Structure 1
Amino acid sequence: MQITDADRRLLRHMLAAPGLSVADLAERAGLTSATCWRRIERLREGGVLRGEHAVIDWHALGWEVEVSLRFTLDKTDPRAFDAFIAAARNVSEVIEIQSFLGSTDMRLQVIARDMAHYQEIYRNKILTLPHIAELDALMLISTIKSGAELPL
Structure 2
Amino acid sequence: MLDDTDRRILRHYQHDPALGLTDLADAAGVTANTCARRLERLRTGGVILGNRAVIDWARLGYEVEVSLRAQLDKTNPRAFDEFTAAAREVPEVIEIQTFLGRVDLRLYVIARDMAHYQHIYRSAILTLPHITEIEALMHMARIKSDEGLPL
Given the two structures, how large is their TM-score scaled by the length of structure 2? 0.97
Tell me the equivalent position of 2:87. 88
**Deviation string, structure 1 residues 33-53 (Cα, Å, up to 9, x no partner):** 111100000111221111111
Deviation at 1:147, TM superposition (A): 1.8
Residue 26 of structure 1 pairs with residue 35 of structure 2 = no
Tell me the equivalent position of 2:124. 125
Given the two structures, how large is their TM-score scaled by the length of structure 1? 0.96
Deviation at 1:67, TM superposition (A): 0.3
Return the alpha-carbon distance in structure 1 between the equivalents of residues 14 and 58 of structure 2. 22
Percentage of identical aligned residues: 65
Deviation at 1:150, TM superposition (A): 1.2
Tell me the equivalent position of 2:36. 37
Tell me the equivalent position of 2:3. 4
Within 5 Å, give how 1:1-152 maps onto structure 2: 2-152=1-151
SS in 1 for 2:123: helix
**Deviation string, structure 1 residues 17-61 (Cα, Å, up to 9, x no partner):** 121111110111111111110000011122111111111111111
Gaps of 5+ in 2: none
Return the alpha-carbon distance in structure 2 between the equivalents of residues 123 and 114 of structure 1. 14
Return the alpha-carbon distance in structure 1 between the equivalents of residues 21 and 57 of structure 2. 29
CA-based RMSD? 0.8
Structure 1 runs (4+) deviating above 2 angstroms are: none
AA at the equivalent of 1:91? V
Deviation at 1:62, TM superposition (A): 0.9
Return the alpha-carbon distance in structure 2 between the equivalents of residues 20 and 139 of structure 1. 37
Deviation at 1:5, TM superposition (A): 0.8
Return the alpha-carbon distance in structure 2 between the equivalents of residues 22 and 57 of structure 1. 27
SS in 2 for 1:133: strand
**Deviation string, structure 1 residues 83-105 (Cα, Å, up to 9, x no partner):** 10011011000000111110000
Return the alpha-carbon distance in structure 2 between the equivalents of residues 15 and 139 of structure 1. 30
SS in 1 for 2:40: helix
**Which stretch of the first structure deviates more once superposed, 129-138 or 18-27?**
18-27
